[in-house]
Amino acid sequence: MDLDVDPDSYNFDDDFEMDRMDKFYLHLQNIVIDLFSKSRDKAAGNKRKHKEFISIHNSEKTFDLSRKRWIKC
């Protein structure tokens, strides 16, 4: 995914550019969730006693690492 993340290079009033940023953000979010999920599985997986969650900044949802699904905050 090609995106210059420098906010000075974007017109935030342009819907096309905002869509590009949204797509980039969602792609990055998936990469981070996948990384944490795989790391958790390698460490101990579902043998852990405590539930683990990860949330992305300014997101209205949280990822449940044990159930591998999004939940509402």
Per-residue pLDDT of 15-48, as tens digits, reads 887 787 788 888 888 899 999 999 888 887 767 7
Residue 63 is classified by DSSP as E
**What's the pTM value of the predicted model, to 2 decimals?**
0.67
Please say whether the beta carbons of 67 and 60 come within 8 A: no
Please say whether the beta carbons of 3 and 21 come within 8 A: yes
Residue 40 is classified by DSSP as H
- Residue 7 corresponds to which tokens in the numbers above? 């906010």
